[in-house]
Structure 1
Amino acid sequence: MTTNDSSDDNSTTLPRRQLGQYLKENRLGAGLKLEEVAPLMQWSASKLSRIEAGKSPNVRVIDVEALCGIYDIEDAEVVAGLVGLAKQSAGKSWWQAYDDIMSGNFDLYVGMESSAKHIQIFRPDTPSGLFQTMAYARAADRIYFSDITDEELDRRIELKTKRQALITRKTNAPTIELVLQEGALRTVLGGPEVMRDQLIHLANMPINVTVRILPFTAGFPLGTAPGPFTILDFGQDVKGRKVSPTVVYIESYAGDMYLERTKDVGRYRRAYDVMQQSSLDVASSKRLLRQVAKEYRA
């Protein structure tokens, strides 16, 4: 069993998800149902389900060892690996300091984003928070969170800035692809100067980030507008096995969703591929970004 030991990443989310994945596989391998195992642990089935989904922040070592006994896991190396993951998942993550300003389960997304090795993002409206300048982010959040204090707004901008640090991480920086519809370049937030700086920022991304613009002339390549989504991949271990299942994160005004079923992930991968193929290439996208940025100087 290979555990995540990336020293540059304080994420507890990935070890938590790995632990849940391995525990579920061993439960199924033992031919046991949630409803059969949970009473043995004096838990509800929903609690065990949350642990297997990587959504429980505190999984005790003693509980992992008890589950290993229930599942007849006798390999000392496997038990040690699961215990190691439990210890990692119990640590503190940097984003927990911002729990008071993160709505819903956005902390789950930030943890996965921090752990991902490859990220594909489609945005029809505004650049993802990963790519927003401070001035652009402030203008956007001031409108969306109209009732927050200046201090809360500052903390939201600070959170985005800390998220963006993964782009320029010295080791194991993820590869990130962004497809942005052209309308986002011409939808003004914060005024001409803010827009100009934002577009130049997008045009000057580091080598591990590619930005492609889906032009107006492409119409609707899917025949419909899918809304913003992000595909997060977590890489493979030394045996070529996925470290953790791929996740599709879908943002909406009514709330966010996380999809992991193979069918759902495949559908969004195909959608992303279609829109990427319909977009301008990287060089042409940079030219368009700089061209529109110049228009804001007028």
Structure 2
Amino acid sequence: MSYIKKGTPVFRKTSFAFFAAGFNTFAILYCAQPLMLAFTKEFHISPTTSSLSLSVTTIALAISMLIFGSLSEVWGRKPVMVYSMLAASVLCLLTACSPTFHVLLFFRTMLGITLAGLPSVAMAYLGEEIEAKSLGSAMGLYISGNAIGAVGGRVISGTLSEYFGWHGAIAGIGIISIAATFIFWISLPPSQHFQSRKLEVGKLGKSLLDHLKDPRLVCLYGLGFLLLGSNVALFNYIGYVLTATPYSLSQTIVSWIFLILIIGMFSSMWTGRLVDRYGKQKILMINLSITLAGVVLT
């Protein structure tokens, strides 16, 4: 059984499938962010409570990823990813019909659990099926799908909400998700190099504990937690500021502010080259200083 090589039709189909999957995952995850103001008004809740619509999904996703990666070792890579995307698409459509905020939170929590089936398995599939020389390109397209989905989901839902309300906005994302799931299912080749294994929960727990014993890894985990957390928090609440006086911007205009996140797709590549030249610690401290200055100025 040969590996998938760059330049072949099957490589293009596989890359396109994962681009669609990455877009789908992060569009569903972040589509609630520009809708928080609408949740606040309709359900008569505070901005802090409204932000749970994103927080519960993210927490459920993070925890569930630890489980789905192990389940794919037993059930297979493609089935876990396809069923994960399909379930998330259906739940997204159900979320659009939520009569109360508590029901919405329930569906968003379930969304986080089902969404975890894709990112936790995607890299394993690519590592098993793509030849080593072509792996970087395939992973790059998948990650770019993640980034574009995170931006696109926010912009699309924010724009739709102004014309169709938050129900229509989430339903629109759900329809896009169904289409992305179909594209992924028909485009992704079945695993050729996957070998089923027994589910060993003990080994999984030991591996996690071993990682937590390494202080350098713990520092990296902490940085990721704090940086992404502050980024999400800033964008959670900036809509409330920009739609109020003195700015009084429309929801559509405010949703387009998320395009700023695209800069990260290019700056990350540039930062990687700077790290190779000047070292990790120096570039990290410079980037943290720029981030802090940006937050203070904002």
In proportion to residue count, which structure has more helix? Answer: 2
Q: Which TM-score band applies after superposition, normalised by the shorter structure? A: under 0.3
In proportion to residue count, which structure has more strand? Answer: 1
After TM superposition, the score normalised by the length of structure 1 is 0.26
After TM superposition, the score normalised by the length of structure 2 is 0.26
| Higher Rg of the two aligned structures | 1
Structure number with the bigger relative contact order (C-alpha 8 A, sep ≥ 6) is 2
